[in-house]
Amino acid sequence: MTEQEARRMRRARFEGLAHLVVEPLHRYLLRRTSADLVDDVLSETMLVLWRRIDDVPGLGTDAVPDPADVLPWCYGVARGCLANARRADGRRLRLVERLIRTHEDAPAADADHSELHAALDALGALDREVVRLWAWEGLAPRQIAEATGLTANAVSIRLHRAKARLAAHLERKDAGRPGHKRDEGRSSQ
């Protein structure tokens, strides 16, 4: 048997199985979860059945399998896929709750970072990405090199130069020395 014939037989077995189990699995899932989740879980179930077509008990080389032989195992697959979907929903909900709590705990008046963002925007796209990976994501130059496709040495050089340009840009915005008034220390006479 050639590989192409084997694929055709596998596909025919799956199509026969799918034709037999799609409706019962759809009804099974409708009784157990919300209507908006049914199609996603059913799709995931069918994907697992495709991947594990050789493991389905009662599914021989016959084009039409016996429902009593294959449905119980397929229900078990659907049950597992539904459990996975529920766990994923739970994780998403916990994340949203955590983000809401974090947002509520944040200080009411956020600091104005518009000058910093303007200074970042003045950098080239690659330099801006290198700085953000370093400052916001906490990556080392070696890790940034892996993420950007540069060498670690090139990242270090770009980072050094970008930080210098940022400092110069931010210093121009605030020409006076921090904490000092312009006329401080001069006599008024």
Evaluate if pTM is beyond 0.95. Answer: no
How many residues can be counted in the chain?
Answer: 189
Q: How far is residue 71's CA from residue 77's CA, in Å, rounded to a whole number?
A: 10
Q: What are the phi and psi torsion angles at 4 (to 5°)? A: -65, -40
Q: What is the CATH number of domain 114-173?
A: 1.10.10.10
Q: Do residues 110 and 81 make contact, with C-beta atoms less than 8 angstroms apart?
A: no
Biggest CA pair distance of the chain: 107
Q: What is the CATH number of domain 3-105?
A: 1.10.1740.10
The domains of the chain are located at 3-105, 114-173
* Domain 3-105 matches domain 114-173 at the CATH topology level: no
The tens-digit pLDDT sequence of the chain (189 residues) is 799 998 999 999 999 999 999 999 999 999 999 999 999 999 999 999 999 999 998 887 665 778 888 899 999 999 999 999 999 999 999 999 988 888 776 555 556 778 888 888 889 989 988 998 898 888 899 999 888 889 999 999 999 999 999 998 888 655 555 555 555 444 544
Q: How far is residue 76's CA from residue 81's CA, in Å, rounded to a whole number?
A: 9
